[in-house]
Each structure stands twice: as structure tokens, then as C-alpha cells.
């Protein structure tokens, strides 16, 4: 099993996007079977298309057309610095596409509530964050995040999904909690069960196309939103994560980060034309504004 399969369809070499053909040609062996994989939709306005390539010797590789938002150079440098037993190695890369190792195993979605595995998931996210990222690592000013936040609110207003009084309430709730500085480095930006797999007994991250230099605390908040864990599950994730990094800044500024990621998630869904999903996220955001203690309880569950 692959952990992120929704549906599969056999195809042929001629049906693949042109950006993949030079990469396959550079493998010096032609696949004997190509299976198109439909992945769970992310929040990029362009889809992440993938194919499983099977070769005569019986081994597999994954061919992937990348979202336009992928920073390919950064992705390659980051993956080369991360452990290869947990992160698939890129075999070939080109404009808009990669071919990488195929990891098989058990989907993490089959291990919901397993405390040891959830803790290991937190350790994997922490491993990503503590991996050096050259000049992009260290403390960075958050003015850009305030701009992105306010731009997101403007887009929500423009789409008519919120009105001005609610936009003002959201802004007033979040902005006082924005940190002046935030720790920057490698972030995953889509760390959730659908993108994780138990491979050779280890929790592995099998979709890393959105790796980018961003705020660690933003990435933690995005993990909370994308994962939607119970308080008990979130406690286990944080217990594993804190071995890599102190959580004090995350707790101190979580009002800003949780609202920021929800606003940007609504904006992304609107760009995808998924208004129903956008409205469900908006409902969660409104609950956060109205009842922060209740809605943010998973985020405020401190670990020893």
C-alpha cells in the first residue's frame, strides 16, 4: 500500500506529461507498467499528479508533476540533508517534475490513536525543522506574514465569504499576538496522515513537494489544521516534537498562527473553487474567534 492512493488507472508512456519524458529517458530503462495515482487534493491551486512506474526487474519509482509553488532547488537541497530512510530520494529532476524513490508500507491513517507512532510523527516534524537550511535558517521578521494575513482577509472579503465586521474581528483577534521575530528553516507545510507512511518500521514522509523556508510555528499550526487531531493525539505529537525544539514561542503566539493558517486555508479553497470546504473552515475560524479556549485546546495542551 502507498498511503495516499485514492484511485489508480493504468496509462502508457505517451499519455504522460511532456515534462516527465526526458526524466524517464535518463533512467535508461523503460517502465513496463505505469499507474496513474490520484492523490488527495491539497491546498495548492495546481494539483500534485503522480504515477507509479514499474520496471522489468520488479522495482518501482514514483514520477511526479510538481505544483507551481514547489521550490525545486530548495526541495532537492532539503531532501539531500534529510535521512533517506524517512524521505524518498529524488532520482531525476527537471522543470516541473521529479522521479523519486517509491516507498511502500502501511498508511498512517490505519494507526490513528497509536501513541508511539504519533510521538514518532512529532519527532519526524522536529527532524525537518532542526535540519540546517543555509541562509534561510534563523530568526526572521514576520512583517511578511502580516502582509499575507491581511491580503488573505482582503481576498475573503472580495469573494463575499465574510463581511467587514467579521474581518475586523479576525484581525483584532490575531494581530496583537503576531511575534516580531519567528524561527525560520525547512518546513513541510502539508504534514498530515495522508502524506505519511510506515515504511520498514519507520514513519516516513512520502509527499514533500511543498517543502519551503518558512516559520516553524506556522508549520506547527498548519499541522494542527491539516491533521485535526484530538487533544490526546496532539499531546503525543508535541511530545515527540519538543525533543527538537522548545515550544514556548508556539504557545505564546498561537492565536496569530492558528488564525493565520485558517485564513490562508480558506483563501486557497476559494481559489480552487471549493466554496463549501471554504465555508466549513470559516465555521472553524469563527468558533476560534468566539471560543478560543475551547477551540484551541489541542494547541494549548502543554507537554511536560
What cell numbers appear for 96 in the block? 516541473
pLDDT tens per residue across all 304 residues of the chain: 344 444 566 678 888 999 999 999 999 999 999 999 865 455 554 456 899 999 999 999 999 999 888 899 999 999 999 999 999 999 999 989 999 999 999 999 888 889 999 999 999 999 999 999 876 678 999 999 999 999 999 999 999 999 999 999 999 999 999 999 999 999 999 999 999 999 999 999 999 999 999 999 999 999 999 999 998 999 999 999 999 999 999 999 999 999 999 999 999 999 999 999 999 999 999 999 999 888 786 676 666 5
What cell numbers appear for 275 in the block? 466554496
CATH number assigned to the domain comprising residue 137:
3.90.1200.10
Q: Are residues 194 and 215 in the same domain?
A: yes
What is the extent of the structural domain holding 165? 107-295
Contacts of 29 (CB under 8 A, 6+ apart): 55, 56
CB 187 within 8 A of CB 213: yes
Q: Are residues 102 and 240 in the same domain?
A: no
What cell numbers appear for 213 in the block? 523556508
Neighbours of 14 (CB within 10 A): 6
What cell numbers appear for 58 in the block? 520488479
Q: Could you tell me if residue 2 is inside a domain?
A: no
What cell numbers appear for 140 in the block? 526572521
Question: Cα separation of 141 and 156, whole Å?
Answer: 25
Q: Could you tell me if residue 302 is inside a domain?
A: no
Q: Are residues 71 and 179 in the same domain?
A: no
74 burial (CB, 10 Å; 0-12 / 13-18 / 19+) is: middle
Contacts of 281 (CB under 8 A, 6+ apart): 262, 265, 266, 269
Q: Are residues 29 and 99 in the same domain?
A: yes
- Number of domains the chain is built from: 2
Q: Are residues 113 and 95 in the same domain?
A: no
What cell numbers appear for 14 in the block? 505517451
Q: Are residues 54 and 100 in the same domain?
A: yes
Of residues 165, 82, 158, 94, the one with CA closest to residue 123: 82
Ordered strands of the 138-141 beta sheet = 138-141, 181-187, 212-215
Q: Could you tell me if residue 192 is inside a domain?
A: yes
Q: Are residues 117 and 101 in the same domain?
A: no
Q: Are residues 200 and 219 in the same domain?
A: yes
Q: Are residues 30 and 90 in the same domain?
A: yes
> What is the reported pTM?
0.91
Q: Are residues 151 and 97 in the same domain?
A: no
Q: Are residues 54 and 171 in the same domain?
A: no
Q: Are residues 52 and 187 in the same domain?
A: no
What cell numbers appear for 219 in the block? 508549520
Amino acid at each position: 500500500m502507498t498511503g495516499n492512493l485514492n484511485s489508480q488507472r493504468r496509462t502508457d508512456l505517451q499519455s504522460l506529461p511532456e515534462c516527465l519524458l526526458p526524466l524517464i529517458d535518463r533512467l535508461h530503462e523503460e517502465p513496463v507498467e505505469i499507474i496513474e495515482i490520484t492523490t488527495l487534493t491539497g491546498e495548492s491551486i495546481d494539483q500534485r499528479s503522480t504515477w507509479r512506474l514499474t520496471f522489468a526487474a520488479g522495482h518501482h519509482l514514483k514520477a511526479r508533476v510538481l505544483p507551481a509553488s514547489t521550490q525545486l532547488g530548495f526541495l532537492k537541497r532539503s531532501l539531500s540533508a534529510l535521512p533517506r530512510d524517512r524521505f524518498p530520494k529524488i532520482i531525476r529532476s527537471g522543470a516541473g517534475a521529479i522521479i523519486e524513490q517509491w516507498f511502500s508500507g502501511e498508511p498512517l491513517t490505519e494507526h490513528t490513536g497509536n501513541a508511539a507512532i504519533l510521538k514518532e510523527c512529532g519527532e519526524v516534524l522536529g527532524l525537518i525543522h532542526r535540519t540546517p537550511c543555509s541562509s534561510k535558517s534563523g530568526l526572521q521578521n514576520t512583517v511578511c506574514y502580516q502582509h499575507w494575513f491581511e491580503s488573505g482577509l482582503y481576498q475573503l472579503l472580495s469573494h463575499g465569504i465574510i463581511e467587514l465586521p467579521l474581518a475586523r474581528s479576525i484581525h483584532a483577534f490575531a494581530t496583537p499576538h503576531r511575534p516580531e521575530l519567528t524561527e525560520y528553516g525547512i518546513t513541510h507545510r502539508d504534514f498530515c496522515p495522508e502524506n505519511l507512511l510506515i515504511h520498514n518500521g519507520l514513519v516516513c514522509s512520502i509527499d514533500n513537494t511543498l517543502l519551503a523556508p518558512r516559520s516553524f510555528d506556522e508549520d506547527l499550526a498548519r499541522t494542527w489544521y491539516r491533521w485535526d487531531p484530538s487533544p490526546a493525539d496532539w499531546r503525543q505529537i508535541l511530545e515527540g516534537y519538543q525533543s527538537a525544539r522548545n515550544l514556548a514561542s508556539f504557545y505564546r503566539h498561537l492565536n496569530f498562527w492558528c488564525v493565520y493558517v485558517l485564513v490562508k486555508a480558506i483563501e486557497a479553497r476559494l481559489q480552487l473553487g471549493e466554496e463549501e470546504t471554504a465555508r466549513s473552515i470559516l465555521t472553524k475560524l469563527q468558533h476560534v474567534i468566539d471560543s478560543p479556549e475551547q477551540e484551541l485546546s489541542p494547541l494549548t495542551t502543554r507537554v511536560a
